[in-house]
Amino acid sequence: MEATVHTSRRPDAIDSPLAQLTPTQMKVLRGVHSGLLNKQIAFDLGIAEATVKAHMTALMRKLNVRNRTQVAIAAQALSL
């Protein structure tokens, strides 16, 4: 008789795009989802607007989208 190992982790948890995002990228994603401009997100997070732009580039790559609108749609689909 073989023992079965059960884990509390969902099999799809690692495959989730959200699992690939850093905490700051998650905050930027929430800001985009809320309709904020890069300048507003930067102010809220206490970082430079250029840093927000860098995070947006990384978000688009990780979420496999091409523009800000698609980032917002992806955030909605991911239930942020």
Range 34-53 burial, b when 16+ CB lie within 10 A, else e: eebebeebbeeeebeeebbe
CATH assignment of the domain containing 37: 1.10.10.10
Residue 12 lies in a domain: no
Please provide the average confidence, as pLDDT, over all residues in the chain.
86
**Predicted local confidence at residue 4, as pLDDT:** 47
Model confidence, pTM? 0.78
**Predicted local confidence at residue 7, as pLDDT:** 42
Token pair for residue 45?
């997070």
Least confident range from 7-11, 32-36, 57-61: namely: 7-11
What mean pLDDT is predicted for residues 14-43? 92
3-state helix, strand, coil in the chain (%, to 5): 60, 0, 40
Residue ranges making up the domain that contains 28 = 20-77
Whether 6 has a pLDDT exceeding 70, the answer reads no
Structurally, the chain folds into a number of domains equal to: 1
Residue 27, exposed/middle/buried by CB under 10 A (0-12, 13-18, 19+)?
Answer: middle
